[in-house]
Structure 1
Amino acid sequence: MGTYSFKLPDIGEGIAEAEIVAWHVSVGDVVEEDAPIADVMTDKATVEMTAPVAGKIVKIAGEAGEMIAIGSILAVFETEGDEAPASEPAPAVQTAPNEAAQVVKPDPVPEPVAEAKPEPVAEARSEAAPPASAGHARVLASPAVRQRARDLGIDLSHVKTAEGGRVRHADLDAFLSYNSGGGYRPAGGKRADEAIKVIGMRRRIAENMAASKRTIPHFTYVEEIDVTKLEDLRADLNATRGAKPKLTMLPLLITAICKTLPDFPMINARYDDEAGIINRSGAVHLGMAAQTDAGLMVPVIRDAQDRNVWQLATEITRLAEAARAGKAKSEELSGSTLTITSLGPLGGIATTPVINRPEVAIIGPNKIVERPAFDKDGNIVAAKLMNLSISCDHRVVDGWDAASFVQALKRLIETPALLFVD
């Protein structure tokens, strides 16, 4: 028998360390070559590490949520034969981009250590988790996920994953969240208490939002906008669209935003705290907040000002689907100059969205409601009304500028013919 020490490879992003997000194996597991053993997260992506050799796991480095230095030992395998193979890192397979790059980089982490932490790890395995080398069909999940699902009374076969992949803690979280009002309850009718470790993407989100609120003096301005004519225009465009994509309200709102921004360059900007520089952007790289099973992600519509409503609709659909499937590229998740966030059918009367740092503003359209209103002649008519919120960085954007921007935007939305006039 020999041993093989698998070291965390250089993932190629110029990083010194990565976070262990999840283990797919435990000490004592027998795995085949190329079987998934762990997920690690960098600032840009979650990467699945696979076994470089077949063998028995005799040691793993650290628990989920801990940082591990590039080049330090991730796992030790016991292999067949007297001589151990050369200890070369296996290639990593990118599986799920995270949202750290497009929101806020986390606070600096401690200097990496040369070796993984040597604390002992539990060797006991859950009886619910057969060895990774088992040949029968089953739902893929780590022993920890299986144990948690069993404690909660969840049938793993009912849990949705990205393209039928391995069930992770985030998938269980999403299952619990989306079924909380749909009749799901664990055995006995009462949900079990949980202590969920904040790791991976959820930790990135927590760090990013905390940094944004901690460093940016937010203020929010809300205005009511009559979107009756814009909704009529949207219906007409969809009725004659042919093979073009169906329009939602979002492409039309983005078109209005892009036409308004040139007169308000301080809105379409990024603030470099360390250098004390405001970088105004000539192009509109619009971040589009999208909720996924793994958490909030913000794919970016590049050069939105150069796209017509049909092109915007196509790009919105493509980016949203890529984000939800975990296939968005890192360059599609960074570099936004302004973000729009909408709760869609959940609506809401008004929102106070958190700025996508280092941007200086974020726009939040709210739900459309039909209510009686007065027309210009004093007659009562049915109107479709929507509140629009904008949160701004008060270090860069004054209240007058934010209000003026929204009023200019309102004029375009309420007179939609102006959207197509140069």
Structure 2
Amino acid sequence: MGEKIIKLPDVGEGVAQAELVEWHVNIGDLVREDTMLAAVMTDKATVEIPSPVEGEVTWRNGDIGDMIAVGAAILKIKTAGEVGEEEPAIELTSPERAPRSAELEDEPKPVAEKREPAAGGTPAKPSAAAASPGVGAPRSGGERPLAPPAVRLRAREAGIDLRQVPGTGPAGRITHEDLDMFLSRETGSAVAAGLQPNKSVQEVKIVGLRRRIAEKMALAKSRIPHITYVEEVDMTALEELRTRLNGNLKPGKPKLTILPFLMRAMVKAIAEQPGINAHFDDEAGVIHQFGGVHIGVAAQTPSGLVVPVVKHAEARDIFDCGREVARLSEAAKNGTALREELTGSTITISSLGAMGGIVSTPVINRPEVAIIGVNKLAIRPHWDGTQFVPRKMMNLSSSFDHRVIDGWDAATFVQRLKALLETPALIFVSE
């Protein structure tokens, strides 16, 4: 028998540590070569770590949310061959705690409790609770239940907290039979008793991309005094133009949404007010105004909110903007966006599409000084001076850093966007 120590590999150039965001295996699990063992995150990229060998997981290091140094040991796998190697120093810290290297130097004790032989040399028999399915007591709130991945998946899909499921396997391990019995008992009691109050409290640890989003939003709101300006825009003419352009698309041309038109309008408005396209270094007291317009487009993904960036929008036409938005959005959703495609924005668009509501208060993407919020497009009655007529209306809800952008300047910028969008021919006019 041998033992293979799995270390955190080099997950990117210049990356010294990564956050542990998911365990795919537990102690005692049998794994094959290339089985996914864990997932770590660096910046906004998630990397899965495969097993290089086949064997049994005997030890693992770290809790979800811990920061692990590149090269540190994360798992040990018992194998049939001789693959042991010298154990490296463990470097593991939590984002909320000081390094715990001293605490983790010793290998954790096996979860299963060793039984001493009873008098006369006969091994002690397991307790009745362990021998009888479903009899064990539920775990305490902080105790992590032992269960294979397939059982965890079933429980997650059924909305079951595994801490409430008694396990009858070794060391209290939860089996499929344990889960079946728990589900049948819960279903039967619910039918018998009718509606019951749900007093459960689920603890969800904020890790990975969600933790990064939380930190960034908290920093932006605490450091930036926001001013939000809302204006309605008559999009009827632009929607007619967009429909006509999409109806006569040539091969290779992308289908246009509202965003490419807004991006080109922003480029023209920024040319008149370059202070909007800037970063504010509040620690150095310096504003960096950019010539290039790099527009971040907030995109919702299964992992959370990310902001892919359309670089140099000032050098792109309507169709090129549309093509790049579609490409980056798809890459962000399937997790293939590169790091440089998710950084470097100078101003951001926040759009929820049909879910955009009437008004929003978007949070500035620090250190930028402005964010343009796109609300829902809807047909609403509009007074034309003599009567109410149906028009396609949309609100722009835009936030500005009030330390460096005055209310007048913010209003001027949004009104310029309004004029360009309501008369879309102006977007295409070179000045």
State the TM-score, normalizing by the size of structure 1.
0.78
Secondary structure, aligned partner of 2:18? strand
1:310-329 counterparts in 2 under 5 A? 310-329=319-338
Cα distance in 1 between the residues matched to 2:110 and 2:412: 61
Deviation (angstroms), 1:305: 1.5
Per-residue CA deviation, residues 203-242 of structure 1 (Å, 9 max, x unaligned), is 1111111111111111101111111111111122122223
1:197 paired residue number: 205
Aligned to 2:398: 390
- Aligned residue among 417, 422, 431 for 1:414: 422
Cα distance in 2 between the residues matched to 1:50 and 1:34: 5
Matched, 1:372 2:359: no
- For 1:161-176, list aligned pairs within 5 A: none
Q: For the residues of structure 1 that align with 2:292 and 2:277, how far apart are their CA atoms?
A: 8
Q: Distance in 2 between matches of 1:305 and 1:286?
A: 10
Alignment partner of 1:289 out of 281, 286, 298: 298
**What residue is the counterpart of 1:52 in the other structure?**
52
1:304 aligns with 2:320: no
Instruction: Verify the 8 A CA contact 1:72 1:116 in the aligned structure 2.
Output: no
Equivalent residue, structure 2, for 1:177: none
The C-alpha deviation readout for 1:20-68, integer Å capped at 9, x for no partner, is 1000111111212222100011124211111132221111001111122
CA deviation profile, 1:242-289 (whole Å, cap 9, x unmatched): 332221111111111111111111111112233322111111111001
Task: Measure, in 2, the Cα distance between the counterparts of 1:150 and 1:323.
Answer: 29
Deviation, 1:147, is 3.9
* Larger RCO, structure (CA 8 Å, separation 6 or more): 1
* 1:327 Cα deviation from its structure 2 partner: 1.1
In structure 2, do the counterparts of structure 1 residues 33 and 238 end up closer, same or farther at CA, with 3 Å as the change threshold? Answer: same
Superposition deviation, residue 87 in structure 1: 7.1
Deviations 1:334-392 (A, max 9, x none): 111111011101131111001111111110011122222233x5343322221111101
Aligned equivalent of 1:206: 214
The 8 Å contact of residues 301 and 333 in structure 2, kept in 1 or not, is answered as: yes
Instruction: Tell me, in whole angstroms, the C-alpha distance in 1 between the residues paired with 2:109 and 2:242.
Output: 59
Separation in structure 2 between the aligned mates of residue 54 and residue 405 of structure 1, nearest angstrom: 61
Aligned residue pairs total 361
Residue pair 1:272, 1:358 contacting (<8 A) in 2 also: yes
Q: Is the 8 A contact 1:268 1:361 kept in 2?
A: yes
CA distance in structure 2 between the aligned counterparts of 1:86 and 1:406, rounded to whole angstroms: 63
Q: For residues 130-279 of structure 1, what are the structure 2 equivalents within 5 Å?
A: 144-152=152-160, 193-243=201-251, 244-279=253-288
Deviation at 1:3, TM superposition (A): 1.9
Alignment of 1:15-26 (within 5 A): 15-26=15-26
- Are 2:397 and 1:399 equivalent residues in the alignment? no
Cα distance change of structure 1 residues 287 and 352 upon mapping to structure 2, 3 Å threshold? same
Amino acid at match of 1:242: K
With structure 2 as the length reference, what TM-score do the two structures score? Answer: 0.76
Match of 2:376, SS state, is strand
Calculate percent identity across the aligned residue pairs.
51
1:117 aligns with 2:104: yes
SS at match of 1:411: helix
Contact 2:26 2:147 in 1 (8 A): no
Shift in alpha-carbon separation, 1:358–1:189, aligned structure 2, 3 A: farther
Distance 1:31 1:115, change over 3 A: farther
Q: Deviations over 1:91-145 (max 9, x none)?
A: xxxxxxxxxxxxxxxx98777665783584884797863xxxxxxxxxxx57655
Q: 2:84 is matched by which residue type in structure 1? A: A
CA contact (8 A) 1:20 1:64 kept: yes
| In 1, Cα distance between equivalents of 2:342 and 2:103 | 30
The whole-number CA distance in structure 2 between the counterparts of 1:61 and 1:228 is 59
Aligned to 2:27: 27
Q: Structure 1 residues 304, 85: CA separation in 2 closer, same or farther (over 3 Å shift)? A: same
Which sits farther off after the overlay, 266-275 or 320-329?
A: 266-275
Greater displacement, 74-83 / 357-366 = 74-83
Task: In structure 2, list runs of 5 or more residues that go unmatched.
Answer: 89-93, 113-143, 162-193
Partners of 1:260 and 1:296 in 2: CA distance? 27
Bigger mean CA offset, 366-375 vs 202-211: 366-375
Instruction: Please report the RMSD computed on the Cα atoms of aligned residues, expressed in angstroms.
Output: 3.0
